[in-house]
Amino acid sequence: MDDRNKLMSQDTFSRAVRFIWREAEMLDRREYREWLQLWDTKGFYVVPIDPATTDFAATLNYAYDDQEMREKRVERMTSGYSASASDAARTVRTVSRFTLASDEANVVEVQSAQIIVAYKRSVPTIFAADLTHRIRFDGDEPRLAQKVIRLIDSTDALNAIGFLL
């Protein structure tokens, strides 16, 4: 890789990290409708059960949301008519350990670690996960093409959490 391409990759990686931090802040602030605007229309939000799976369409997942399902999930969470909306946890998340997994023409894949502390009914709960963000940079604004959240305890029973990971 020549120096010019290396600088472009570093700049794109930095933009991707800032994008991921912005997404995390939106989720903690429950800005779910704004979060929907971060997505490519063909993107998938995935929370797999099997920690090693890569074929999300052929395996059981906690979430495997295309655009329509993301919109429905956000509607349920913001409507006030579901348990996830009326008794939603407050969250604070930290995303770190960023690694550039792949850098193609207009798509960057970044792996990271996420810790979420959720506070609900006077009880704090910790959620830890490995994340993979696939981000497209081919328009005016970056867009999420895929977000995979691999919870470290994904094979255990997961209670209704009432917030987006």
Give domain status of residue 157, yes or no: no
The answer to whether position 156 is within a domain reads no
If you average pLDDT over residues 8-13, what whole number do you get? Answer: 79
Token digits of residue 86: 């009326």
The answer to the question of residue 44 being in a domain is: yes
Could you tell me if residue 15 is inside a domain? yes
| CATH code (residue 77) | 3.10.450.50
**Residue-wise pLDDT tens digits, 134-163:** 999 988 899 999 999 999 999 988 776 778
Q: What is the pTM of this model?
A: 0.90
Residue 160 lies in a domain: no
Overall domain count for the chain? 1
Q: What mean pLDDT, rounded, does the chain reach? A: 90
**Does residue 47 lie within any of the structural domains?**
yes
Q: How far is CA 92 from CA 18, 67, 86, 115, 127, in A?
A: 17, 25, 19, 8, 10
pLDDT tens sequence across 36-71? 999 999 999 999 999 999 999 999 999 999 999 999
